[in-house]
Chains A and B, each alone.
Chain A
Amino acid sequence: MKEPLYIKTCNTLRSQIKSGILQYGQSLPSERELAETYQIDRKTLRKAISILIDEGLLIRLQGKGTYIAQQQLKYDVQVMDDLEQLLNRNHVNPTSRILYKELRPAGLRFSKLLGIQREDKVLRLVRMRLGDNEPVALQDTYIVYDIIPNLDSIDFEMYSLYSLLENNNIKIFKIEETFTFIQLSNPEARLLNMEEGAMGFIAEDITYDTSGRAIEYTKGIINNQKLSINVDLKYTP
């Protein structure tokens, strides 16, 4: 089967971005120019561009036009680290803003996920995670309250959960993580600096310590233009 024209156009533009002919910071040539260069109609061109926006390679700025996006960072699934460490590894300055904090009973859903009683307390944190001051993720975290003394008095804009666990001699045994892709709606899209209806992905994880108990559950809504899912597997002979 022959490739449709818009896919061909997509592939051409994608390889120009990947090879650096079109670079971060540049604006995409005008529709008229591109339509002429590739000898295609504007409708086909727009289809190709909208796919590249979904992939996070292009970014549309309201009232300004379409630009080449900054290269996405790899969200390395096989590496056990948190968002802060991931950003640090990539020389991006991580910051965190707490939008909401609440000490609450686990309730049905979180008691199941965390393997505790419904009336057991959890600390809920809603955090905006930024990299070089740009929104990367919106995280909704539920931490089992009694794992660390006075959990609710800790400043989570200053300290990461990982560093607190380490300090309290709690060793992580495993993290179970899932990923789904969704279309973002408001207010989430707006907070992530994305258009309503743009694609993002949801990373949900549960962290367990070496005694087998669950420590926390996090649902992160991730800006697809900032991070892309990558898995590197090595097989031992």
Chain B
Amino acid sequence: MSKYSNLVNSALVERIEEYIENNHLVSGNSLPPEREFCTILNVSRMTLRDAIRKLCEAGTLMNIQGKGTFLAPSRIIRDVMNIHTPAEEYYKLLSIQKVHAEGSINRALNLSTHNEVYQIKRIRMTPSERTSIETSYIPVSKLKTLDLAALETVSMSHIYGSDTNQKLSQANIKISVSKASFEESEWLGITEGDYVTVEKHTVYRDELPIEYCISVSSAHRVKYSATIYAE
């Protein structure tokens, strides 16, 4: 083996994956206790722990202190090529207010100072968990009427889409990582300082930005997906 053997050795990881498959283990099921599993796989504890760590990092397994190793729940998949909300997620409106835009919000929306924007805070969720906290900023001048009922169910792009009957022309999404603030951690049911992904969406209509949205999700719960086709 080369000097990278620790990096490239995946044989045990693959055997554990086969064990999971052959025993039809699904999210929430546990692996056998460490000692027993070592015997089954005929490896040392150290070797097993290293492979389990790799599978935890990959999001396949999770360790629960004092309880053992379990099959992790699958991540929530966000299709970045299609920013409309998939059917299984919905929204709960937290607050809506008019604020004076400043700093990065002003820059993103291409506004001069002292413009009023709607700040709309919503929780995005599935029937079983809260997935994201989203804060949207929309210039007041761009949105004549606000359909509060719609805010509960659909993504913002639907709302101004129906408000003005005009189509969106482009969108930009930037995804980075940060640590949860106290407020975010409370809404997402995680610990303050836990890693979160931060999606920054800017949505354009007729080449002009009409919405800037910051969406924060627990980093180990989301997975972003995209399918790119050749031209």
Contacts and interface: CB of A to CB of B under 8 A. Distances in A.
Contact of B7 (A100, A178, A229): A100
B173 A180 contact: no
A79 B228 CA distance: 7
B83 to A, nearest CB: 7
A172 B230 CA distance: 7
Interface in B68-88: 75, 77, 80-81, 83
Interface string A166-180: 000001111111111
Nearest to B217: A181
Interface string A85-125: 00000000000000110100001110000000000000000
B230 A54 contact: no
A177 B7 contact: no
Interface in A148-203: 171-183, 185, 187-188, 191, 199, 201
Interface residues of A, number: 53
B14 A80 contact: no
Query: Which of A171, A173, A176, A181 has most chain B Cβ within 10 Å?
Result: A181
Interface in B51-71: 53, 57, 59
Interface string B160-177: 000000011111111111
Given A175-B227, A175-B228, A185-B57, A126 B7 contact: yes
Given A185-B53, A185-B57, A179 B6 contact: no
Contacts of A107: 14, 18
Contacts of B7: 99-100, 126, 138, 187-188, 191
Q: In the complex, which range does the number of interface residues on chain B fall in? A: 35 or more
B230 A173 contact: yes
Nearest to B6: A187
B181 A7 contact: yes
Interface in B191-231: 195, 197, 219-220, 222-231
Given A171-B230, A176-B227, A185-B53, A234 B176 contact: no
B17 interface: yes
B228 A177 contact: yes
A173 to B, nearest CB: 6
Contacts, number: 147
B172 A199 contact: no
A108 B20 CA distance: 11
B228 A77 contact: yes
Contacts of B59: 180, 182
A230 B104 contact: no
A232 B172 contact: yes
A135 interface: no
A55 B4 CA distance: 29
Nearest to B175: A229
A28 to B, nearest CB: 18
Contacts of B175: 179, 228-231
Contacts of B179: 50-51, 54
A80 B230 CA distance: 7
B8 interface: yes
A121 B171 CA distance: 42
Nearest to B166: A237
Interface string A222-237: 0010001111111101
Nearest to A11: B103
B219 to A, nearest CB: 5
Contacts of A102: 8
A15 B103 contact: yes
A61 interface: no
A178 B156 CA distance: 24
16 contacts: A11-B103, A78-B81, A100-B8, A107-B18, A108-B17, A126-B7, A138-B7, A176-B227, A177-B228, A181-B195, A182-B219, A183-B195, A201-B177, A229-B176, A231-B171, A237-B169
